[in-house]
Structure 1
Amino acid sequence: MSKAIFLLLYIFLLHPLMPSSAVNIFDLQFKSIDNILINMSDYQNKHLVVVEFDASNPDRDVLLSLDSLYKTDTENIKIIAVPCLDFGYPANIENMRKLLLDTLNLSFSITDTGFAKKKPTSNQHILMKWITTQSENGHVDNDITEAGQLFIISKKGLLYASLSRQNIFEKDLIQFLINNEPAE
């Protein structure tokens, strides 16, 4: 497992860092699930974890695990969840909102719904576009292959880790990656 982590980090570090044409993540703005404007500038100098999930079938265990991680250090770790429409059945947005905010009572930010995957015919969520496109993030192209992928962004705005769904439950792994972000 640790070899895979270091290989992942090594691959990310081989790419050039943030060319001047890249979009600064802290300049992005988008709506929350409650229609409140999320300014990424509020997340500057914080370890940022972004998770995308199936809006029609949110994985409660993953979201509760991330909420637990978030609550351990709300001053330094920020989490943003993106409910995505490219998986499963059409989402009932109001039921999803009630589940996430009222039933699960999640304390981290949740964006409005959008598409995660890069498709010429869809309007990809602005945050997912930044994560998946090298010309946006200035570092690497990513493909969304399944619901539940997680991305870690440094305090300075560098995307440096991507985890598949099966690794998300490993809070120790996520904490290790956050504590060992690459020098920029």
Structure 2
Amino acid sequence: MKKLIMLSLITIFSACSTKSKSEPKASIYDIQLNSLDGNLINLTDFKGKKILFVNVASKCGFTGQYEELQKLYDIYKDNLMIIGAPCNQFGSQESGTEEEIKTFCQRNYGVTFLMTEKLNVKGENQHPLYAWLTQKELNGSTSTSVKWNFQKYLIDEEGKFIDYYYSTTSPLSKKITKHLSK
């Protein structure tokens, strides 16, 4: 299945294969995502803004980062979109339904940034978004692996990979905010 997804991504983005090594081999804007409500999230709507992708979970030691993510979004929302991607692949810490996740995030943390449906961020059924975020062949920058919940990936206004941050990096860390003040 993983090979099929990779072949599909490579086929979809083959027109981009003549770009230089520092250019993404695929456009993040071509990836399809659905919100917790089942609505299509069109990433092209965020061209001109940075995007911070975060795989999230409701029952994790890092769950408190929702508060910092919301604060970051409130401060920079004119130039930043945060997209939380619920994931149940680490310790089964996001076992709730889409409605339960949405209610939890809004009630406990006042989350107003975008949240996707549950995604697989690694493994055989890895979502194409996380294939792009973690594979140099697609993002043109670096290969990574998602180590745990609340790992963060920052994309620039033109859809280029900036950097990634492990769970222990606070959303309000200067490692992240230094890219948002520009």
* TM-score (structure 1 length as normaliser): 0.78
- Over 3 Å counting, the alpha-carbon distance change for 1:28 and 1:16 in structure 2 is same
User: What is the alpha-carbon distance in structure 1 between the residues aligned to residue 59 and residue 95 of structure 2?
Assistant: 4
User: What is the alpha-carbon distance in structure 2 between the residues aligned to residue 81 and residue 24 of structure 1?
Assistant: 19
User: What is the alpha-carbon distance in structure 1 between the residues aligned to residue 37 and residue 85 of structure 2?
Assistant: 13
How many pairs were matched up?
161
Structure 1 residue corresponding to 2:90, chosen from 82, 87, 94: 87
Letter in 2 for 1:112: E
How far residue 179 of structure 1 moved from its aligned partner, in angstroms, is 3.4
User: What is the alpha-carbon distance in structure 1 between the residues aligned to residue 84 and residue 38 of structure 2?
Assistant: 14
Q: Residues 30 and 39 of structure 1 are in contact (CA less than 8 Å); yes or no, is this contact kept in structure 2?
A: yes
- Over 3 Å counting, the alpha-carbon distance change for 1:110 and 1:87 in structure 2 is same
Letter in 2 for 1:32: S
How far residue 28 of structure 1 moved from its aligned partner, in angstroms, is 1.9
State the percentage of identical aligned residues: 24
User: What is the alpha-carbon distance in structure 1 between the residues aligned to residue 71 and residue 55 of structure 2?
Assistant: 17
- Indicate yes or no: 2:51 matched with 1:48: yes
Letter in 2 for 1:72: I
Task: Give the 5 Å matches for 1:1-184.
Answer: 16-18=21-23, 22-54=25-57, 57=60, 59-89=62-92, 91-93=95-97, 94-117=99-122, 119-120=123-124, 123-179=125-181
How far residue 55 of structure 1 moved from its aligned partner, in angstroms, is 5.4
Stretches of structure 1 that go unaligned for 5 or more consecutive residues are 1-14
User: What is the alpha-carbon distance in structure 1 between the residues aligned to residue 87 and residue 152 of structure 2?
Assistant: 13
Stretches of structure 2 that go unaligned for 5 or more consecutive residues are 1-19
How far residue 111 of structure 1 moved from its aligned partner, in angstroms, is 0.6
- Over 3 Å counting, the alpha-carbon distance change for 1:147 and 1:60 in structure 2 is closer
- Over 3 Å counting, the alpha-carbon distance change for 1:17 and 1:144 in structure 2 is same
